[in-house]
Amino acid sequence: MTNSTKLNVELLLTGNELMSGDVIDSNSAFIAQELGSLGLEVTRRVTVKDDLVMLSEEISHQSKRADILIINGGLGPTVDDMTAAALAMAANVEIEQHPDAMAHLLDWCQRRNYELNEPNKKQAMLPKGCDVVLNETGSAVGFTMNIHGCQVYTTPGVPSELKHMLTNQILTHIQHKFSIQDTTHVSRFQVFGLGESTIQAIVNEHLSDWPDTIELGYRAAMPNLEIKLTTHHQQAHDEKPTWHKKLTDILGAHVIGEGKISMAKSLIDVLNTQQKKVTFAESCTGGLMSSFVTSESGSSNVFEAGFVTYSNAMKTKLIDVPPATLAEHGAVSEAVVKAMLIGALNKSGADVGVAVSGIAGPNGGSDDKPVGLVWIAWGDTKDVRTAALYLPLGRRYFQQYVATAGLDLIKRHLLEIQPPPQYLDTRKATI
Amino acid sequence: MTNSTKLNVELLLTGNELMSGDVIDSNSAFIAQELGSLGLEVTRRVTVKDDLVMLSEEISHQSKRADILIINGGLGPTVDDMTAAALAMAANVEIEQHPDAMAHLLDWCQRRNYELNEPNKKQAMLPKGCDVVLNETGSAVGFTMNIHGCQVYTTPGVPSELKHMLTNQILTHIQHKFSIQDTTHVSRFQVFGLGESTIQAIVNEHLSDWPDTIELGYRAAMPNLEIKLTTHHQQAHDEKPTWHKKLTDILGAHVIGEGKISMAKSLIDVLNTQQKKVTFAESCTGGLMSSFVTSESGSSNVFEAGFVTYSNAMKTKLIDVPPATLAEHGAVSEAVVKAMLIGALNKSGADVGVAVSGIAGPNGGSDDKPVGLVWIAWGDTKDVRTAALYLPLGRRYFQQYVATAGLDLIKRHLLEIQPPPQYLDTRKATI
């Protein structure tokens, strides 16, 4: 068995859009994290523009340094895409049509009723002697070959295609090729409503004996925070569940759930268990709560209808908010979100619901009701709760935070969780 | 005057958190865009972990290739921060306390009533012979020195500190040092419904005399595609508008608009001009059309209400879809989306609208109605159009594509654009 931590892994990224700053590179973070799960550490990464000579020189140089080189980008059909040509140049072999790649392209086009055009055919022209790596979600295949004793893998720049290819194909290939046994264990969970510094302070205070052998990492996944626990040897693997539990116990219901789970999925699970249905009456979030829930498969069991009532008139017409309440309190008020919630519950027949009305900005604020103010109501017809939050975060992040908080609050309501989340206190609006 | 496009600029980033994937690097995109505004192109960037020998070797190698090298990160007070030591090693000079850096540190601490501690003092230890670059927002100064004929600048890893230092100090220094006048112009526009390879094929066929001096770049901004035209000298700047227009004329209404505009914003502009209001009746997109529109500020002028009618019962109850129509044709059918549209228009009083019903998957498909099938209806009460598309793209991308197509189709309807978009043909469902 190879000691995987001693393998030298490098990355090469190509793309004018990466060099110009038009695109922020998130692929290399993903690749590093996935390789990390095999105990492999990326030590160096080079990013160059789409230039055949530069690319070929880098491949040549990196393949002489590294045991594994992963190239990302440049597999598309256009003239910008020159990874195959550059790798062939570095390996000093010809480019030729690869039958497996051609078969994939033909199949890809047939399934979609496309005609295979000339630029697409270019995607089947690969360095002689390489092996094709299947792309389940895109037209561009990847490929792998050994040059200068280095195993080179090429991967697509489109993040969703990269993810499939790396996790489903390349990691397994690397594991077999280098006889790697998984020596790094990572567990992660998602948190909403607590910041990194707050959590670090909690750990410092309440878990001051946190072992060095369990690495604690944070990743902002706005509006959530992902927490990662990494261990590198058996004793630490064995101890990890205990510490994982200690930490999630302290963070309580601020923990959305284990793994990569979304707030919407975690709410859907609770609704399914309780065999209940939810509805949403949305003003400032404009459909985002409904959209979050329906972006998860299986949502149709727990969600039948949502109301996007953006204007005052529609709040009255569609979900029976009394005009007098709107006139007296204004659209962004406790009385109005209560009435929206009751109206949406009555119209949809759902068991529970959330209603929000706020000022997303950048316009529409006043001294009384500034941009960032939002009223939220949640619960069922017999038990309606409300809160006002002040979230001056910019329009889009405001909408995401409010929608996620809405899902969180109704989940806590269903589970009868006490105490309330910290953000009801720290983000409370002073009215 | 130096021709700035001929200057070779490289970046070097350092940080274990960048290599592990815990932090996504947005600094290099910012640096590239700022340098781009001076007509400077970054051709290569290297990212390494915090390792003194690796860092020093990269500095040595890059400074021999480049005219300008910008190093980001490693200026902090901890043992991980070793940029100063690595640069000194590469330049073969000593590290010594720099009086300007020390003065900055003392001032920094005094203003904040901090005591200057030993780790902080390390931030004043700089390579002999360098010049300090002021940091207005942090304790770590930057510095610059010339080695191997390359001007090296060091910058802090904290994004806000980098931004201040780069824009307020380093760009000016570079401009003077290299007598640069701004020479690069970029224009961009957004396209929906045509892929990169299709557009490249169109250019090859219809604009085969496209000049080399106008660089054509593509960026996938799913489900849109961004097209960028870059020029580097006056003659090309002058020719660019003509070619820009030639290209957008051929692409026709597949062009969403100039710059970074979203489909939603472009629809809102049309609705504003025509003083009309839109509504949406959404099944498979689950609120995403409403959410797209309301994510733009100013949407309240043109949007009052949206209906997320996920279940059959709610299609009937909220927007009057006859139960007989649902029973006869099924929820994913032309008859149902027509009825959804008319119902939503009647209930909301909007002038125009879009209704969608489809199978987002991964479950719920059948031989007759596979995952990826969607019916769309759009128009007004007097003129309802429909189309069936087949988009087997995975649940989330399916939802995004359908929602964007819905906005596109109603925009084309309002503007009475002919011919219909290509995707109505290439993505047409066979029913």
The closest CB to that of A300, out of B19, B29, B310, belongs to B310
B378 phi/psi in degrees, rounded to 5: -150, 160
Residue B86 — very low, low, confident or very high, per pLDDT cuts 50/70/90? very high
Using omega within 30 degrees of 0 as the cis cutoff, is the peptide bond preceding B421 cis?
Answer: no
CA distance B348 to B278: 9
Q: Which of A111-125, B168-182, B321-335 has the highest mean pLDDT?
A: B321-335
Residues of A in contact with B20 (CB under 8 A): 32-33, 36, 41-42, 217
Q: Which amino acid is at B383?
A: D
At residue A220, does pLDDT exceed 80? no
Question: Nearest chain B Cα to A33, which residue?
Answer: B21
* pLDDT over 90, % of chain B: 73
What is the DSSP code string of B42-85? EEEEEEE-S-HHHHHHHHHHHHHH-SEEEEES--SSSTT--HHH
Report the gap between the CA of A406 and the closest CA in chain B (Å): 15
CA distance B88 to B143: 12
- Cβ pair A21:B41 closer than 8 A: no
- Cβ pair A294:B399 closer than 8 A: yes
- Helices then strands, counting H and E runs in chain A, come out as 17, 17
CA distance B354 to B319: 13
Kindly list the distances between the CA atom of residue A249 and the CA atoms of A191, A252, A260, A323, in Å, as whole numbers in the listed order: 12, 5, 18, 46
The residue that leads in pLDDT, B393 or A291, is A291
At residue B1, does pLDDT exceed 50? no
CA distance B239 to A64: 44
Residues of B in contact with A396 (CB under 8 A): 295
CA distance A191 to A223: 9
Chain Cα centroid distance, residue B16: 26
Provide the β-strand partners of residue B282: B308, B356
Mean pLDDT of A152-172: 93
Q: What is the pTM of this model?
A: 0.77
The closest CB to that of A305, out of B31, B308, B347, belongs to B308
Residue B33 — very low, low, confident or very high, per pLDDT cuts 50/70/90? confident
Assigned CATH class of A4-177: alpha beta
Mean pLDDT of B343-371: 95
At residue B135, does pLDDT exceed 80? yes
Direct distance between the N- and C-terminal alpha carbons of chain A, in angstroms, rounded to an integer: 65
Residue B137 — very low, low, confident or very high, per pLDDT cuts 50/70/90? confident
Question: Nearest chain A Cα to B289, which residue?
Answer: A287
Residues of B in contact with A314 (CB under 8 A): 304-305, 348
Mean pLDDT of B110-138: 86
The closest CB to that of A305, out of B43, B309, B399, belongs to B309
At residue A232, does pLDDT exceed 90? no
At residue A137, does pLDDT exceed 70? yes
The closest CB to that of B318, out of A17, A285, A305, belongs to A305
* pLDDT over 90, % of chain A: 74
Residue A86 pLDDT = 97
* pLDDT over 70, % of chain A: 99
Report the gap between the CA of B395 and the closest CA in chain A (Å): 7
Least confident residue range of A266-270, A426-430, B380-384, B399-403: A426-430
Do residues A271 and A414 make contact, with C-beta atoms less than 8 angstroms apart?
A: yes
Residues of B in contact with A219 (CB under 8 A): 22
CATH number of this structure's domain B185-258 = 3.30.70
Do residues B39 and B73 make contact, with C-beta atoms less than 8 angstroms apart?
A: no
- Cβ pair A309:B310 closer than 8 A: no
Residues of B in contact with A16 (CB under 8 A): 215, 217
Substitution target in B35, B184, B304 with the highest count of A β-carbons within 10 Å is B304
Mean pLDDT of B47-63: 96
- Cβ pair B24:A29 closer than 8 A: yes
CA distance B115 to B120: 10
CA distance B229 to B241: 10
Question: Nearest chain A Cα to B293, which residue?
Answer: A286
Among A187, A191, A246, smallest CA distance to A220 is for A191
CA distance B169 to B154: 12
**Average pLDDT score over chain A:** 93
Q: Complex ipTM, two decimals?
A: 0.77
CB atoms within 10 A of CB B326: 18
Residues 6+ apart with CB under 8 A from A355: A280, A281, A282, A337, A338, A340, A341, A344, A376, A377, A378
The closest CB to that of A22, out of B197, B219, B286, belongs to B219
- Cβ pair A78:B200 closer than 8 A: yes
Residue A2 pLDDT = 43
CA distance A20 to B43: 9
CATH classification number, A263-426, choose in 3.30.300.30, 3.40.50.300, 3.30.160.100, 3.90.950.20: 3.90.950.20
pLDDT digits (tens, 9 = 90+) for B256-294: 999 989 999 999 999 999 999 999 999 999 999 999 999
Among A150, A154, A155, smallest CA distance to A177 is for A150
Residue A1 pLDDT = 38
The residue that leads in pLDDT, A317 or A195, is A317
The domain spans of chain B are: 4-177, 185-258, 263-426
Kindly list the distances between the CA atom of residue B191 and the CA atoms of A266, B217, B258, B406, in Å, as whole numbers in the listed order: 36, 13, 9, 15
Residue A4 pLDDT = 52
At residue A144, does pLDDT exceed 60? yes
Report the gap between the CA of B93 and the closest CA in chain A (Å): 25
pLDDT digits (tens, 9 = 90+) for A368-382: 899 999 999 999 999
- Cβ pair B30:A21 closer than 8 A: yes
pLDDT digits (tens, 9 = 90+) for A57-97: 999 999 999 999 999 999 988 888 999 999 999 999 999 99
A81 phi/psi in degrees, rounded to 5: -95, 105
- Cβ pair B20:A30 closer than 8 A: no
pLDDT digits (tens, 9 = 90+) for A398-418: 999 999 999 999 999 999 999
Question: Nearest chain A Cα to B390, which residue?
Answer: A112
At residue A319, does pLDDT exceed 60? yes
The residue that leads in pLDDT, B220 or B345, is B345
Question: Nearest chain A Cα to B42, which residue?
Answer: A19
Substitution target in A294, A302, A395, A407 with the highest count of B β-carbons within 10 Å is A294
Question: Nearest chain A Cα to B389, which residue?
Answer: A112
Give the DSSP H or E segment for A38: none
B10 phi/psi in degrees, rounded to 5: -125, 160
Residue A112 pLDDT = 78
The closest CB to that of B306, out of A42, A158, A287, belongs to A287
Among A54, A263, A65, A30, smallest CA distance to A159 is for A30
Substitution target in B55, B57, B162, B200 with the highest count of A β-carbons within 10 Å is B200
Q: Residue A131 corresponds to which tokens in the numbers above?
A: 């092996």
Q: In B99-184, where do the E strands start and end?
A: 125-127, 131-133, 142-147, 150-155
Residue B219 — very low, low, confident or very high, per pLDDT cuts 50/70/90? confident
Residue B233 pLDDT = 84
The residue that leads in pLDDT, B418 or A222, is B418
pLDDT digits (tens, 9 = 90+) for B144-154: 999 999 999 99
- Cβ pair A304:B313 closer than 8 A: yes
- Cβ pair A297:B36 closer than 8 A: no
CA distance A35 to A110: 34
The residue that leads in pLDDT, B46 or A109, is B46
Residue B67 pLDDT = 97
**Average pLDDT score over chain B:** 92
CA distance B170 to B286: 48
The closest CB to that of B19, out of A23, A43, A299, belongs to A43
Residue B17 pLDDT = 84
- Cβ pair A160:B392 closer than 8 A: no
Residue A5 pLDDT = 53
